[in-house]
Structure 1
Amino acid sequence: MYDGLFLPKALEKKRKLKKWKHENGSCDMLDHLLKENNLEPVMEKYGLKPEDDIIFIKEMIAGPLQESKEQEWDFKGRPEEKSFLYEIVSNKRNGVDVDKFDYLARDSLYLGIKNTFDFHRFLQFARVCEVDGRKTICTRDIEEDNMYDLFYIRHRLHKRAYQHRVNKVIEHMIAEAFLKADGHIEIEGSGGRMFTLSTANEDMEAYTKLTDNVFEEILKSSRPELQEAREILQNIVSRKIYKFVGERKPSRIGKARLLAGKKLAQPLPDEEENNLKPEDFEILVINMDYGMKDKNPVEHMHFYSKKEPDVASRIRTEIFSEQLIRVFCKKIDEQSVEAARQQFEQCSKSFTKERKND
């Protein structure tokens, strides 16, 4: 389903649409499914309370439905002592949630990219601890590397698949075709109301009809008003996609000047004319990170130790190399091993004191 991904910002501004978020669309779709299938009595049959649990489901997907500066706890579906439940589906604190576990495992499998993150281990060590007066999901301190693997594979999938230059340019060409077709395709929604491609997400009955069939409808149409859109989609099918020119890391030059494309269209000093215009260029700004822009998401996680399973703390990794000194005991009888452990603990304490005095 085309959930707004292919509606470019230009279309949002042109139609004065509010910014589309798939989380909000999921909540609207939930309401539609509940109503169309009369699911509230079914929920009550299994001991659920629709008036509370529907709100809870929506909040797990999209966060607080209404944020208030006056209240410290904005959620309505569950009380503050159940705060950790809101970290399961869509974790706003650090991005570690089952939604990410699902799509990273699935996409890695189908794309043939090795996924080194082990969500089974995370679930095995997951524990609820209190942090700043609220309960949060923590994992063992020995799982720090596993959590870095989670965000690393996310970044890797973005770099090799989601943000791949061929994928992005085709995505943009589809958006361009839909922009040209917008207003020429009508989709029937609830009550017989008609919607365009850009407004179908305002009505869930119309939205459910916004499927891959739209692509095929434009491609097979002979209507003159869809000619420009049809030509773009035909070029995609024929692999006549926009050609890659090059890429650079952005400098401090303003994005407005970059996106205008005027400098790109100017001929070189030794040329009189190049027949290029600013509109001949498509400039895409690609952002890739570890899930929290320029921040380290693992720094926003909390870990507990084996010795103190109810005490949560943060691990701030600033050095990406480490040196370990491992001590082994050649005698393997229990008495010798225990004596060796005690001696090692004593030496370690002495070493720590000497370092503090230096």
Structure 2
Amino acid sequence: QVFKDSVHGSLELHPILVKIIDTPQFQRLRNIKQLGGTYYVYPGASHNRFEHSIGVAHLAGELLQTLKKKQQKLRIDERDVLCVQIAGLCHDLGHGPFSHMFDQMFIPKARPGYDWSHEKASQDMFDHLVEENELNKFMEDHGLVPKEDLPFIKELIDPPNVKTIEQWPHHGRPREKAFLYEVVSNKRNKIDVDKWDYFARDFHHLGMKNNFDCHRLIKFARVCEVDKEMQICYRDKEGFNLYNMFYTRFCLHKRACQHKVANSIEWMITDAFLKADKHIKIEGKDGKMFTLSTAIDDMVAYTKLTDNVFEQILNHPSDVGIEEGKEILDRVLKRDLYRCLGEFHSKKSSKEIKKYKSIKLHVVGVKIQQGDTQHLQPEDFVVHEIKLDYGKQDKDPIEDVRFYQKDDPDKAEELKRDDVSNLLPAKFEETIIRFYCKR
């Protein structure tokens, strides 16, 4: 089947991918905004996790087919390609309403200390999708071996951090195919098709120019043995292109994802969700009822949880508890937003953030001393810590990438900064601390 994509053009997808797309669990992604609250600042950013996931599956196939054609000795078979594409397609199944707002802002406040991530939820939702739609037989008929390939696909969605591994941790594929685990979610150096698609897609819908060309990088990708493990490496002349890729990520977050007004709106939606949490009931497996924050524990309930909960709260019958949440969302619609009082750059964020959270108490004290008539309280302030980087916190992102030369394509080594350019960043991370007032 052919899909017409706004970024990649006409895409032809394998029947198994189409079968997965045509399920309630995947169709749910049509109603989850890719950029969350950023849509309220950039009207063009109306794209959803649905189309992004299809784009990731497409790019995963393009990268692996290129490697398969160039390096037949890797023994990449169609099962490998299809499994990686399925992982790309399903890697975001676990996102909640308004994407990262849900997992980074709402859940940590609604369930402090709870060990949960959208990646883990994606694995759980994938299991639920396969079981609920009885896909095992269909997968077998199209060449997959579910007993081996389904665990492999889940491993691809969220691989462990390679730096902490001594023994080979995976069961889906042997160590000689380690490079397959770097396509969808690359824990080694953060270069993967997930980023390539959202760079292109987010910039397109934001109305900004994307200066990174993933298709060129794919042409210069090659698998080499590094420290007794097969890794995806790149031609030495692509070093600057990769620095540009990480800079592109930084710009996207700086200009859009962490826009101060977008963040303000996401804090408001988060507060509304917290107020409405116990009042929105979602039916799960065997008729058991869940709330906004507990629906993540039941995939039947979680399938029903999308951005539409915004309207669900607004239209909910009034009662004492939910009314405050409705008022906050009504303020969003009327553009009566939490005000950003200011921001500054912190050099030692991890140590300083606790100190600056106490500033709101000081501000309250000053306001009261000055005869403030609004009776501001500490809970009327938000202190938001924002970390912007090149993908590897304060590290040079190229340190974990290996490069080969044209005359020796099977040997990959580190690339010295001076061999790329004399005009490269000295620092790769910054922390911004913003202050918002809710009143």
CA distance in 1, matches of 2:164, 2:208: 43
Corresponding residue to 1:284 among 384, 398, 403: 384
Q: Is the CA contact (8 Å cut-off) linking 2:403 and 2:415 kept in structure 1?
A: yes
CA distance in 1, matches of 2:164, 2:252: 36
Unpaired segments ≥5 residues, structure 1? 323-358
* Greater displacement, 183-192 / 246-255: 246-255
Instruction: Say if 2:312 is the partner of 1:312.
Output: no
- 1:140 to partner: Cα distance: 0.4
* Greater displacement, 194-203 / 274-283: 274-283
- 1:221 to partner: Cα distance: 2.2
Instruction: Say if 2:194 is the partner of 1:99.
Output: yes
Cα distance change of structure 1 residues 7 and 63 upon mapping to structure 2, 3 Å threshold: closer
Instruction: Say if 2:365 is the partner of 1:266.
Output: yes
Which ranges of 4 or more aligned residues in structure 1 deviate by more than 4 Å? 7-11
Larger Rg: 1
Q: Is the CA contact (8 Å cut-off) linking 2:106 and 2:273 kept in structure 1?
A: no
CA distance in 2, matches of 1:111, 1:259: 32
Corresponding residue to 1:245 among 308, 320, 341: 341
Give the letter aligned to residue 243 of structure 1: R
| Equivalences for residues 191-202 of structure 1 within 5 A | 191-202=286-297
Give the letter aligned to residue 23 of structure 1: E
Instruction: Say if 2:261 is the partner of 1:160.
Output: no
Cα distance change of structure 1 residues 180 and 24 upon mapping to structure 2, 3 Å threshold: same
**Equivalent residue, structure 2, for 1:82:** 177
| Equivalences for residues 2-81 of structure 1 within 5 A | 2=97, 5-6=101-102, 12=108, 15=111, 18-64=114-160, 72-81=167-176
**Equivalent residue, structure 2, for 1:171:** 266
**Equivalent residue, structure 1, for 2:328:** 232
CA distance in 2, matches of 1:209, 1:188: 8
- 1:316 to partner: Cα distance: 3.0
| Equivalences for residues 114-125 of structure 1 within 5 A | 114-125=209-220
Secondary structure of 1:309 counterpart: strand
Q: Is the CA contact (8 Å cut-off) linking 2:185 and 2:192 kept in structure 1?
A: yes
- 1:15 to partner: Cα distance: 3.6
CA distance in 1, matches of 2:302, 2:110: 20
**Equivalent residue, structure 2, for 1:347:** none
Give a deviation string over 1:213-264, Cα, whole Å, max 9, x none: 2110111223212100000000001100011211111255642232232122
CA distance in 1, matches of 2:119, 2:188: 16
How many residues are matched?
319
- 1:38 to partner: Cα distance: 0.5
TM-score by length of 2: 0.68
CA distance in 1, matches of 2:186, 2:396: 15
* Greater displacement, 277-286 / 38-47: 277-286
**Equivalent residue, structure 1, for 2:395:** 295
Identical residues among aligned pairs (%): 47
Secondary structure of 2:305 counterpart: coil
CA distance in 1, matches of 2:249, 2:370: 47
- 1:154 to partner: Cα distance: 0.5
Q: Is the CA contact (8 Å cut-off) linking 1:32 and 1:204 kept in structure 2?
A: yes
- 1:16 to partner: Cα distance: 5.2
**Equivalent residue, structure 1, for 2:208:** 113
Secondary structure of 1:52 counterpart: helix
CA distance in 2, matches of 1:110, 1:262: 40
Q: Is the CA contact (8 Å cut-off) linking 2:346 and 2:352 kept in structure 1?
A: no
RMSD: 2.3
CA distance in 1, matches of 2:244, 2:229: 27
